[in-house]
Amino acid sequence: MSYGMLEVLKGIDLSVAQRELVFIIGPSGSGKSTLLRCCNRLEDPNAGTIIVDGDEVTARRVDLNKLRQRIGMVFQQFNLYPHLTARANVTLALRKVRGLSRRDADETADAALDRVGLIDKAQSYPAELSGGQQQRVAIARALALEPKIMLFDEPTSALDPELVGDVLTVMRELKDAGMTMLVVSHEMRFARSAADRVIFMDKGVIVEEGPPTRLFKRPKQKRTRDFLRQVEH
C-alpha cells in the first residue's frame, strides 16, 4: 500500500506486506488515526493514492462497500450496535452486504465469536458485556467478513487495565494466523513482542520506522527519542 496526502498527513509513503503487523505510534494529533481512516475511506484524502489488495481505494469509481468488507476495522470506542445482540452485531453485514442466509450468517458469526473466545456470549447485548468482551465482539464483527487486512485504531485505549490482556491475546492469535494488520496503539510491550515493524509518526509525517528492537533501543531521530522517553515514564 502506498499513501501520499496533504494537510493532516503529508508525503506519507508506506507499504505493508502480506502477513505483516505494522505498528504505528506517535503523540496524539499526529495523524495516526487519520491514516487508518483513510485506508477504508471513512475519511477522504484530498490527494494521493491508497491501494489495498490490488485495488485502488482512492479511485473515483470504486465500490467502497464491497472493498470495505476486505478491510476490517476495530475502533477505540468499540462502536458495537447497542440494539443488537453480539451475534446480530456480527451477522448484520454478513446478511445485508454479503447476502448470506440467516443460518449461514449465524454459522459464520459463531465461528468468529468462537475465535475471540466469546461463543457463550452470542445472545448477550453489548451493555451486558465488559469493555474487553465488547472489543472482542467488535473484532469478531470485522473478522467474520474475512478481511485481507485489519485496522486497529487504539483498540485498548478505552479499556480498564485488567481487561487489556484478553484483547491483546486475540490480536496476537490473529497475527500468528497470518493476518495482515495495521495497529495504532500505545501498548509498547505488545509492539515489542508482536510487531514486524514500528512506525513513529508526528505532525502528519513518518519520522522514523524500523523493526521494534531497533527502534525502541536505538531511535535515530531526536523526536522519536523524546516521545519514547515520555511514554516510558
Amino acid at 160: D
Distance in angstroms (rounded) separating the CA atoms of residues 140 and 124: 14
By beta-carbon proximity to other proteins, the closer residue of 63 and 120 is: 63
What are the backbone angles phi and psi of residue 126, rounded to the nearest 5°?
-50, -40
Question: Which among 135, 104, 106 has a CA at the least distance from the CA of 118?
Answer: 135
Taking the least distance from each CB to other proteins, the nearer of 147 and 204 is 147
State the nearest-atom distance from the C-beta of 182 to other proteins, in Å: 13
Binding residues for other proteins, rule: CB under 8 A, are: 37, 40, 42, 65-69, 71-73, 75, 77-83, 92-93, 96-98, 138, 141-142, 145
DSSP helix/strand/coil, 19: coil
* Residue among 100 and 215 whose Cβ is closer to other proteins: 100
Determine how β-strand 55-56 pairs with β-strand 51-52.
antiparallel
The smaller minimum CB distance to other proteins, of residues 84 and 163, is found at 84
Closest CA to 88 of 72, 107, 69, 109: 109
Least CB distance to other proteins at residue 33 (A)? 11
| Cβ proximity to other proteins, 98 vs 214, nearer residue | 98
State which residue, 142 or 215, has the beta carbon closest to other proteins: 142
Instruction: Return d(Cα 93, Cα 141) in angstroms, integer.
Output: 8
CB of 136 to other proteins, least distance (A): 15
- Inter-axis angle of helices 161-176 and 131-143, to 10 degrees? 20
Q: How far apart are CA 210 and CA 144, in angstroms?
A: 31
C-alpha R_g of the chain:
18
Closest CB 64 distance from other proteins, rounded Å: 8
- As measured in angstroms, the least distance from the Cβ of 212 to other proteins is 27
Query: Are the CB atoms for 51 and 19 separated by under 8 Å?
Result: no
User: Could you tell me the smallest distance in angstroms from the CB atom of residue 197 to other proteins?
Assistant: 24
